[in-house]
């Protein structure tokens, strides 16, 4: 049976509902994430004061480490949630992006964590320019690097290579990698994370959505010579294609 043609009134109602939903997402992405970060900042300040008060007490030190890890987890969740909500509700136009500046920004954000773990991060001196969204690209690199610091080895390498229509960007470390069954849960579509058997984190699902919104692909692979590697692809900038 053929579908009933929508009237002008139906179309206008759908447009109003779409506008309302986009506004809801933007409000969540901006206001909720801001309020959560503010509260988390207050907890962080109080934690530092407690550290100074209790000094070198071993029991307290272990509790502080646990609290710090939980705060880092919450901070990552807030950041992932905020980026996805804003990207879905109001995706900006892609532009010409100097990838070297993006990588530097992501590394600066995690400089303290690198020092705490004693990890070394190496990267090429030169990077290409791509068509993309700067904030999204910085989140992608930040997420990959943060995951390597938490789960990978202490020797982390960033890099890129040219492809037919663009570039492949990657990060690998000298860690053990992801077990066979776990690989299938790395890049689950974000709209499937409500299922009971979905992966625990949001980061890689958000990365996948952002890469796809920039006309790219992402994935994971292992090579006996270089170890585990996460990667994503992007097209060349418009001016490079001319």
Backbone angles phi, psi at 231, to 5 degrees: -145, 165
Q: How far apart are the first and last CA of the chain?
A: 49
Backbone angles phi, psi at 126, to 5 degrees: -125, 145
Does residue 242 surpass a pLDDT of 50? Answer: no
- Cα angle 150-231-142, degrees, rounded to a multiple of 5: 45
Cβ-count burial 67-89 (b if 16+ within 10 Å, e if not): beeeeeeeebebbbbbbbbbbbb
CA distance 241 to 74: 41
Asked which of 24-28, 39-43, 124-128, 137-141 is least confident by mean pLDDT, the reply is 24-28
pLDDT attached to residue 136: 92
pLDDT in tens, 184-226: 556 665 555 555 555 555 778 888 889 999 999 998 887 666 6
CB 169 within 8 A of CB 129: no
pLDDT confidence band for 38 (50 / 70 / 90): confident
What's this model's pTM, rounded to 2 decimal places? 0.73
Domains by residue range for the chain, with CATH? 8-89 (1.10.287), 95-241 (3.30.565.10)
Asked which of 45-59, 134-148, 173-187, 196-210 is least confident by mean pLDDT, the reply is 173-187
CA distance 73 to 186: 17
pLDDT in tens, 72-81: 777 777 777 7
């Amino acid at each position: 049976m053929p579908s009933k043609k929508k009237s002008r009134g139906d179309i206008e109602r759908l447009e109003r509902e779409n506008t309302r939903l986009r506004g809801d997402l933007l409000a969540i992405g901006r206001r909720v994430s801001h309020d959560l970060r503010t509260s988390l900042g207050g907890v962080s300040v109080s934690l530092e004061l407690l550290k100074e008060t209790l000094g070198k007490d071993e029991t307290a030190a272990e509790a502080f480490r646990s609290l710090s890890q939980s705060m880092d987890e919450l901070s990552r969740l807030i950041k992932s949630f905020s980026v996805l909500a804003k990207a879905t509700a109001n995706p900006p136009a892609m532009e010409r992006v100097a990838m070297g500046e993006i990588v530097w920004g992501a590394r600066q954000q995690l400089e303290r964590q690198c020092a705490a773990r004693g990890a070394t991060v190496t990267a090429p001196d030169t990077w290409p320019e791509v068509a993309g969204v700067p904030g999204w690209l910085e989140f992608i690199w930040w997420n990959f690097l943060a995951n390597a610091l938490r789960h990978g080895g202490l020797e982390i390498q960033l890099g890129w290579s040219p492809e037919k229509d663009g570039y492949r960007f990657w990060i690998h470390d000298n860690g053990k990698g992801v077990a066979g069954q776990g690989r299938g849960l790395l890049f689950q579509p974000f709209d499937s994370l409500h299922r009971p058997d979905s992966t625990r984190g949001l980061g890689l699902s958000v990365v996948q959505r952002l890469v796809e919104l920039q006309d790219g692909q992402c994935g994971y692979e292992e090579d006996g010579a270089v170890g585990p590697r996460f990667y994503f692809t992007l097209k060349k900038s418009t001016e490079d294609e001319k």
